[in-house]
Structure 1
Amino acid sequence: MKKLLVFTLLLFVLILGACNNESSAKKTNDEIEESTTVTYQSEEGPIEVPADPQRVVVVSGFAGNVAALGVNLVGVDSWSKQNPLYDSFLKDVEEVSEENLEKIIELNPDLIIGFSTVQNLDKLKEIAPTVTFTYGKVDYLTQHLEIGKLLNKEQEAQDWINDFKERTEAAGEEIKAAIGEDATVSVIENFNKQLYVYGNNWGRGTEVLYQAMGLKMPKKVEEMALEPGYYALSLEVLPEFAGDYVIFSKSADTDNSFQETETYKNIPAVKNNRVFEAKMEEFYNNDPIALDNQLEFFKEHFLNEK
């Protein structure tokens, strides 16, 4: 009888242990399931996003940031598709628009990213977790770090930022030594038959020139373009905004006949061969891919590095 009682108790202990193991295993699986999403603190509040996004759609603005962090893109905006710098990253990526929701649905994204001004935001949120950013709300490096946080790639983003700061600081010192501490640089662009000059945070290499390398802009540019980011001007007043050096963000598809006028030709930077023409499509953005290219462009042209 005692043997039977001992056997029964032993059997009970074994069954109880098995149940506990099964419960532990279930809990572990649940935790793994929960870990497939993380909470990102977006401008609109906390949002659950994939911990390891595999099918990202960028409807505006941040394709270069995502690509630079090695995250798979399945759809991007038309501006990104037109940038030759992104060709190797976006070869098999579809062009999308926030207006064509059917196309985005077909791509089955697990995360959608865009500017806060994106259209059909509520409908995009029904397709997949959607995170938007207000352009210029944070500086360009903080913006990349935020994209890194969103994609669970914060450390990778921070590593690039640290390296970029070191490289641009060194390049800035070299360039200032070559052209003079007080030399001024302007960034202009001809878009839709309108000339623009840019401040220090509107792409076109302005972040690299003014923020990272500490080069100076002409007083007139500082007065009119620094706060709003850009300023539209006429050809007649362009000489007032032209620095000792001019970066011309130029598109071959635009009428640039203003360069044949006497007004333009008599600008000192033009007469001294200090106008550096860059491809507008490559200079438009301020993500790591674009910024690295802009830095090399400036080193090549200011320091005559080939």
Structure 2
Amino acid sequence: MFVIIVGCTNQTEEAEDTGEKETITYELENGSVEVPANPKRVVVLSTFAGNLMELDVNMVGVDTWTKMNPNFDEELADVEEVSDKSLEKLLELEPDLIIGLSNINNVDKLKEIAPTVTFTYDKVDYLTQHIEIGKLVNKEEEARAWVEDFKARANSIGEEIKAKIGEEATVTVIENFEKQLYVFGDNWGRGTEILYQQMGLQMPDKVKEMALTDGYYAISPEVLPEYAGDYIIFSKNAETETSFQETKTYKDIPAVKQGHIYEVDAQAFYFNDATTLDYQLDFFEKSFLGKD
């Protein structure tokens, strides 16, 4: 599984009077760190690559899950796949900034390679997270502009969707992963932040009861009808077991019968970075409203 989010704020420009590279101070949850004012070689060890893409920041290394995202293929074609354990490879890349979630390994060793900033998932909301990334790479103004534009677009599309499907219509987000089905709350990627937080679409009561607090909940295919809303978003791992879709239990779900289930590649849908949010919003517009 995965997710994201974090930090606090405040940065101050450092005077460049010694011939050294200009830096800024980024305020962390429990301290501060000096980072490049204009990072050129960033390594991302968790789910923030799409934020840096949106802010036009160069990356030299990303984690495996990010590298697998088909939407990132072109942008990351020449970017190395790395991990928090591949320290020698990271040294060779000579990063000037390393970014990851707070649960990554070897943070102290990573700090010896380059300034390292970690974020605690869900410490701040998904849009504030983008602003925090913007502050970190000295592009707060650009990050805030994107957030305001995204909110306006999502609100507009959300109103159209509610006008079409009804204010009380419910939406369930599911995913198949390692022989298990999951339903999701309102902050676990897969477009949940857009659907439930930004657009204000309704979550089925059973999903709200079981998944809202932890963010996700594992179920068996046999009980899926209990969690199925009027509409279903299926974040689908094609290589994982999907035979349940051939069962009568699945086919008898009203949303399935009515063609109100929308399938999308899970590897492109996991995250809630800025680039992925744009992709998810476009997917919802096309799926619910039939717009190209």
TM-score range, shorter chain: over 0.9
Q: What amino acid sits opposite 1:146 in the alignment? A: E
Residue of structure 2 in register with 1:145 after alignment: 131
CA pair 78-265 structure 1, distance change in 2 beyond 3 A: same
Match status 1:267 vs 2:253: yes
- Deviation sequence 1:240-264 (CA, Å, 0-9, x none): 1000000000011111111011111
Q: Is the 8 Å Cα contact of residues 187 and 246 (structure 1) preserved in structure 2?
A: yes
Q: Is the 8 Å Cα contact of residues 47 and 273 (structure 2) preserved in structure 1?
A: no
Counting only pairs closer than 5 Å after superposition, residues 244-283 of structure 1 correspond to structure 2 as 244-283=230-269
Q: What amino acid sits opposite 1:211 in the alignment? A: Q
Residue of structure 2 in register with 1:55 after alignment: 41
Match of 1:188 among 174, 194, 202: 174
Match status 1:117 vs 2:103: yes
- Deviation sequence 1:140-199 (CA, Å, 0-9, x none): 001110000000000000000000000000000000000011000000000000100000
Match status 1:105 vs 2:104: no
TM-score under structure 2 length normalisation: 0.93
Q: Answer with 1 or 2: which has the greater Rg.
A: 1
Match of 2:225 among 239, 242, 250: 239
Q: Count how many residue pairs are aligned between Structure 1 and Structure 2.
A: 278
The secondary structure found in structure 2 opposite 1:75 is: strand
Q: Distance in 2 between matches of 1:254 and 1:35?
A: 48
Q: Is the 8 Å Cα contact of residues 16 and 22 (structure 2) preserved in structure 1?
A: no
Deviation at 1:43, TM superposition (A): 2.0
Q: Distance in 2 between matches of 1:87 and 1:214?
A: 32
Q: Distance in 1 between matches of 2:157 and 2:165?
A: 12
Match status 1:286 vs 2:268: no
Deviation at 1:31, TM superposition (A): 2.8
CA pair 187-113 structure 1, distance change in 2 beyond 3 A: same
Deviation at 1:102, TM superposition (A): 0.4
Residue of structure 1 in register with 2:7 after alignment: none
Q: Distance in 2 between matches of 1:237 and 1:88?
A: 39
Identical positions, percent: 64
Q: What amino acid sits opposite 1:64 in the alignment? A: G
Q: Distance in 1 between matches of 2:77 and 2:243?
A: 34
Q: Distance in 2 between matches of 1:85 and 1:157?
A: 20
Deviation at 1:44, TM superposition (A): 3.2
Residue of structure 2 in register with 1:128 after alignment: 114
Residue of structure 2 in register with 1:228 after alignment: 214
Deviation at 1:88, TM superposition (A): 2.2
TM-score under structure 1 length normalisation: 0.89
Q: Is the 8 Å Cα contact of residues 43 and 132 (structure 1) preserved in structure 2?
A: no
Residue of structure 1 in register with 2:60 after alignment: 74
Q: Distance in 1 between matches of 2:21 and 2:98?
A: 20
CA pair 147-30 structure 1, distance change in 2 beyond 3 A: closer
Q: What amino acid sits opposite 2:201 in the alignment? A: L
Deviation at 1:213, TM superposition (A): 0.9
The secondary structure found in structure 1 opposite 2:85 is: coil
Q: Which runs of 5+ in 1 are unaligned?
A: 1-28
Q: Is the 8 Å Cα contact of residues 199 and 206 (structure 1) preserved in structure 2?
A: yes
Q: What amino acid sits opposite 1:88 in the alignment? A: E
Match of 2:152 among 153, 163, 166: 166
- Which of the two has greater helix per residue? 1
Match status 1:83 vs 2:83: no
Q: Distance in 2 between matches of 1:202 and 1:33?
A: 44
The secondary structure found in structure 2 opposite 1:247 is: strand
Q: Distance in 1 between matches of 2:111 and 2:273?
A: 25
Give the alignment's Cα RMSD to 1 decimal: 1.2
Q: Which runs of 5+ in 2 are unaligned?
A: 1-14
Q: Distance in 2 between matches of 1:176 and 1:154?
A: 32
Q: Distance in 2 between matches of 1:179 and 1:31?
A: 61
The secondary structure found in structure 2 opposite 1:147 is: helix
Q: What amino acid sits opposite 1:107 in the alignment? A: L
The secondary structure found in structure 2 opposite 1:31 is: coil
